[in-house]
Structure 1
Amino acid sequence: MKGVLLVNLGSPDSPEPKDVKRYLGEFLMDERVIDVPLWARTLLVKGIILNTRPKASAKAYKKIWWDEGSPLIVLSERLKDKIQNQIDLPVALAMRYGSMTIKKGLQELVDKGVNEVFLMPLYPQYAMATTETILVLAEEIRKASFPNITIHDLKPFYNDSNYIKVLSNSIARHLDNKDYEHLLFSYHGVPERHIRKSDITKSHCKPNDKINCVCCKTPSKAHEFCYKHQCKEVTRLVAEALNLKEGTYSTSFQSRLGFDPWLQPYTDRTIERLGKEGTKKMAIVTPAFVSDCLETLEEIAMEGEEIFHEMGGQDFTTVPCLNDNQEFVDLLSNWIKQWALTETVEA
Structure 2
Amino acid sequence: MTDTPGTRAVLLMNLGSPSSTAVRDVKTYLHEFLMDERVIDYPYLFRKLLVDGIIVPFRAPRSAEAYRRIWWDEGSPLIVITKRLVAELSGRVDVPVQWCMRYGSPRPDEAMDALLHANPHLREVLLIPLYPHYAMSSYETAVVYAQHWHRKKRYPFQLSILRPFYDDAGYIEVLSTHIQQFLKPDHHLLFSYHGVPERHIRKSDITSQHCLQRTDCCDVASPAHAYCYRHQVIRTTRLVAERLQLKTEQYELSFQSRLGKEPWLRPYTAQRLEELPAEGRKKLQVVCPAFVSDCLETLEEIEQEGKKIFMEHGGESFQMIPCLNTIPAWIALLQEWIHQFVSGDRTMIWNELQNTKAG
* TM-score with structure 1 setting the length: 0.95
- Distance in structure 2 (CA, Å) of the matches to 1:98 and 1:276: 42
Amino acid at match of 2:252: S
Counterpart check, 1:69 vs 2:75 = yes
1:310 is matched with: 312
Per the alignment, residue 275 of structure 1 pairs with 277
Pair 1:160 & 2:168 matched:
yes
Structure 2 unaligned blocks of 5 or more: 1-6, 347-359
1:92 to 85, 91, 98: 98
Q: Is residue 120 of structure 2 the alignment partner of residue 126 of structure 1?
A: no
**Letter aligned with residue 108 of structure 1:** A
Q: What does the per-residue CA deviation read over 1:257-276, in whole Å, with 9 as the maximum and x for residues that have no partner?
A: 11211111000101111022
Match among 150, 155, 180 for residue 147 of structure 1 = 155
Give the one of 264, 276, 285 matched to 1:262: 264
| Equivalent in 173, 178, 182 of residue 181 of structure 2 | 173
Distance 1:292 1:99 in 2: 18
Say which SS state the counterpart of residue 53 (structure 1) adopts: helix
Of stretches 276-285 and 56-65 in structure 1, the one that deviates more from structure 2 is 276-285
CA distance in 2, matches of 1:99, 1:122: 16
Q: Deviations over 1:11-35 (max 9, x none)?
A: 0000110110000000000000000
Please say if residues 180 and 283 of structure 1, whose CA atoms lie closer than 8 Å, have aligned partners that are also in contact. Answer: no
* Identity among equivalent pairs (%): 53
The residue identity in structure 2 corresponding to 1:219 is A
Structure 1: 5+ residue runs without aligned partners? none
Q: Secondary structure at the match of 1:95?
A: strand
Aligned to 1:202: 208
Q: 1:299 to 1:180 in 2, by over 3 A?
A: farther
After TM superposition, the runs of 4+ consecutive aligned structure 1 residues lying more than 3 A away are none
Q: Deviations over 1:110-169 (max 9, x none)?
A: 112233100000000000011111111111111111331210000000000110000000
| SS, match of residue 317 in structure 1 | strand
Distance 1:326 1:104 in 2: 28
**Partner of residue 252, structure 2:** 250
- SS of corresponding position for 1:217: coil
Please give the residue correspondences for 1:1-347 in structure 2 after superposition, counting only pairs within 5 Å: 1-113=7-119, 114-175=122-183, 178-206=184-212, 213-342=215-344
Instruction: State the 1:181 CA deviation.
Output: 3.0
TM-superposed CA distance for 1:106, in Å, is 1.0
1:181 and 1:140 map into 2 onto residues whose CA distance is 45
SS at match of 1:251: strand
d(CA) in 2 for partners of 1:18, 1:146? 33
Query: For the structure 1 residues 231 and 343, does the alpha-carbon distance in structure 2 shift closer, same or farther, using more than 3 Å as the test?
Result: closer
Cα RMSD (Å):
1.4
SS at match of 1:282: strand
Please list the CA deviations of residues 97-120 of structure 1 after superposition, one character each: whole Å capped at 9, or x if unmatched.
002111111111111223310000
Whole-angstrom CA distance in 1 between matches of 2:34 and 2:108: 17
Q: 1:180 Cα deviation (Å)?
A: 3.3
**d(CA) in 2 for partners of 1:131 and 1:106?**
19
Shift of 1:179: 4.5
Q: Which is further off, 98-107 or 57-66?
A: 98-107
Change (3 A) 1:180 1:343: closer
> How big is each residue's C-alpha offset from its partner over 1:231-266, in whole Å with a ceiling of 9 and x where there is no partner?
001110000000001111001000011121111100
Conserved in 2, the CA contact under 8 Å of 1:278 and 1:312? no
Q: Structure 2: how far apart are the matches of 1:343 and 1:305?
A: 44
Do the aligned partners of 1:166 and 1:327 also contact (CA within 8 Å) in 2? yes
User: More deviation in 93-102 or 335-344?
Assistant: 335-344
1:179 and 1:281 in contact (8 A); partners too: no
Aligned positions, number: 339
- Displacement of 1:56 in angstroms is 0.3
| Alignment TM-score, normalising by the size of structure 2 | 0.92
